[in-house]
Amino acid sequence: MRLLIAEDDPLIADGLIRAMRAAGYAVDHTANGEEADEALRRFAYDLLILDLGLPRMDGTELLERLRSRGAAVPVLVLTARDALQDRVSGLDLGADDYLVKPFDLPELEARVRALLRRQRPSLSGRLRLGDLLIDLTGRSVYHGDQRVELSGREFGVLELLARRAGRVVSKEQMLESLTGWDEDVGPNAIEVYIHRLRRKLEPCGLAIRTIRGLGYLLDNAPAHG
C-alpha cells in the first residue's frame, strides 16, 4: 500500500516516513501543498497524511481541491490547530480523521490502520493459508503458535502474494506497492525479499514459485526456479 505524507517540518516528516516504511508501506513525501496536489493528481494513493499548515498551498485548500475532484483517498489531518472549530472545518472539508500535534507514533499508526481498514474492509481480520495465519491488523504472521519474524518489506511482499494466492504477481507490481518515488529500490531487491521469504515459509508448507518472465506465485506446491 502506498501513502503520501504532506508535511513541511523536516523532523516530523522524517519520523513519519521512517515509521510508515518500517511498517511495510510505500511512502512518498512532499513539503508543500502545490507538490502534494500534483502528486495526488498523478499517482494513486491508499492514504494521505496531511499537515494543514503547508507552504505554497494551505492544507485546507489542498483538501478542498482533492474532494472537489471526487477523489476518495482517505485523509488523516495532522495539525497544531487544536480549536474545536478547526477540527470541525477540517472534517467538513472531507478529512477522515484528525490528529493534533504533538502526537504519539503508536496512536498515528493505529489511526492509519483503521483508515485503511475502513477503505478496504478486507484489510480487517486475518488471512489463513494452510498452517500459516497472517494477522493483517497486527501485521504479524504465525505458524501454529510460533511467530514468523518478518521485516516490514517482507510482510508487504507476503501480504501482496497472499491476497493474490494462486495468481502471478509481477516485480513491477511489487515495486509499485512497496516503494515510494525517492527510494532507490530495484527488481534485484524484490529477489532478495523473495529469497528471504522462501526460507522463512518453507517450514510452513508454503512455496513462492517463480513464473519465468512474469513474476511470482504463492501456493502450497514445492518451489521451483
* CB-count exposure of residue 102 (10 Å: 0-12, 13-18, 19+): exposed
Choose among 141, 165, 168: nearest CA to 152. 141
Per residue in 87-111, pLDDT tens? Answer: 777 788 889 999 988 899 999 999 9
Choose among 215, 27, 7, 2: nearest CA to 101. 7
Rounded distance, CA 19 to CA 16, Å?
Answer: 5
Q: What pTM does this model have?
A: 0.65
Domains of the chain: residue spans and CATH: 2-121 (3.40.50.2300), 125-219 (1.10.10.10)
Instruction: Say which residue, 194 or 84, is predicted with more confidence.
Output: 194
Per residue in 184-220, pLDDT tens? Answer: 666 788 889 899 999 999 888 888 999 988 899 988 6
DSSP 69: T
The cell for 204 is 510452513
DSSP 131: T
- Three-state DSSP class for 27? strand
